[in-house]
Homo-oligomer: A and B are copies of this chain.
């Protein structure tokens, strides 16, 4: 049986393995007969040492080389798209087309190119100059970044290809990628391409390193190591909070994207006048990618009364007819079923038929449950348990006051959505509820579902705890996502020739700088 090597300091080498893992093929339920090593601390230690050296080299490298690396890497991904798509489909069961080939892959390369632009234009560095005091500051790389990617986006959030990876590299940091154990082969292919691109443009050898897995304890040791600048994590709340605890105690930065139920509010006028749109969009949003999206709407708040009744009934029908998509993990269906049972135990009604759990292919029938506003308020924690897949919970609210009470019980979420009447009927309710909802979310949306996360300079893919670990930053969008991986460095009375070029009197390119409180590209 093949055993795959890890990438340390530019060399693929045999891991110091504690044991081995295999990925699954979700479309058959069978293990894929390829062993990936679970690395011991020795592997992490070697990666950290090499990354420290790479970081020192990266700090004196021209921005242009980093930009070219990201672009060369994007090109290699495009040239190798079929192999990447095939491997990702094998390991995740995600449809090759349009999902992997036509959506996620272009998103990933687009993201790398946006990161390249951020690196080239130094837009993430926020150069700030006070001419009177001769004090100048900017963000610079924070140090080696460990990236833990999630299972649901093998490309766009992949440890060696996704948003955190691109953001960290653009900010001049080497990355230690920890593959998600559901798609180690995909991550390996990316790391190979990244390494080739790094060699092509002359990046330091340890710019990108790859390990596949570690024990929990080794993971905690990695994120708390003094050589590490920061960690970027996307995944489950339990795993993320355990890593956060370790990193926090050691004073190491960690940026987490955790779970979110992404409440969607349907106001009265919208239920009456835009029901069909909501029915279609909500169903699509819960079933595309089998609902395994961080911004899937897991809570739908619908008014009681006839319009709401019809809307919910129609959604239940559509859910019932929707083919059950393939789930990523062996236990995904079980987890959905357990949460659904827990909800039923507190009185939730099941609006779609209960079926046997599948054998073979990983899947679960598309499921809709419903609670009353009162039930939600009585058990807000259980009602906010994330069902990561094609399942969602409706809350029937009796009044704006009850909706306000429901919102006040919400945990922090990535998104919150309000559908309201297009002609303004709901505007008074909107203004009451929006203020409450906005406190609880990172992105407030009108009249569309939250599952599209544009890679936009203005995006916030973040939100209050526990949806993330830091409400002030975003994991998606450039240049902002790179700022997370920067340390603020101030140069006070430093002689001009010793300054980073971005802070010298002459603007070294078309770089936006905040000079005496005014944004400008001019020289001093």
A interface residues (Cβ-Cβ under 8 A, vs B)? 56, 59-60, 123, 128-130, 133, 135-137, 139-140, 142-143, 244-245, 248-249, 251-253, 415, 430-431, 434-435, 438-439, 442-448, 454, 456-460, 462, 464-466, 469-474, 480, 483-484, 486-495, 498, 512, 514, 516-519
Q: Take A253-B471, A435-B56, A519-B519 as given contacts and tell me if A492 and B443 are in contact as well, using a CB distance cutoff of 8 Å.
A: yes
- Measured in the bound complex, the distance between the Cα atoms of B447 and A248 in whole Å is 35
The answer to whether B486 touches A472, judged by C-beta atoms less than 8 angstroms apart, is yes
B residues less than 8 Å from A518 (CB atoms): 512
Q: Take A128-B480, A472-B139 as given contacts and tell me if A460 and B253 are in contact as well, using a CB distance cutoff of 8 Å.
A: no
Report copies per complex. 2
Q: Shortest CB–CB separation between residue A24 and chain B, in angstroms?
A: 32
Q: Take A446-B495, A519-B512 as given contacts and tell me if A474 and B488 are in contact as well, using a CB distance cutoff of 8 Å.
A: yes
The answer to whether A469 touches B251, judged by C-beta atoms less than 8 angstroms apart, is yes
B residues less than 8 Å from A135 (CB atoms): 454, 456, 458-459
The answer to whether A459 touches B490, judged by C-beta atoms less than 8 angstroms apart, is yes
The residue on B at minimum CB distance from A464 is: B487
Identify the interface centre among A133, A434, A469: most chain B CB within 10 Å of its CB.
A133
The answer to whether A498 touches B446, judged by C-beta atoms less than 8 angstroms apart, is yes
The answer to whether B456 touches A488, judged by C-beta atoms less than 8 angstroms apart, is no
The residue on B at minimum CB distance from A516 is: B457
Within 8 Å by CB of A498, from B430, B486, B512, lies B430
Q: Take A252-B465, A488-B460, A498-B430 as given contacts and tell me if A517 and B123 are in contact as well, using a CB distance cutoff of 8 Å.
A: yes
Identify the interface centre among A130, A430, A464, A490: most chain B CB within 10 Å of its CB.
A490
Identify the interface centre among A135, A458, A494: most chain B CB within 10 Å of its CB.
A458
B residues less than 8 Å from A458 (CB atoms): 128-130, 133, 135-137, 490
B residues less than 8 Å from A142 (CB atoms): 471-472
Within 8 Å by CB of A446, from B249, B454, B464, B493, lies B493
The answer to whether B128 touches A446, judged by C-beta atoms less than 8 angstroms apart, is no
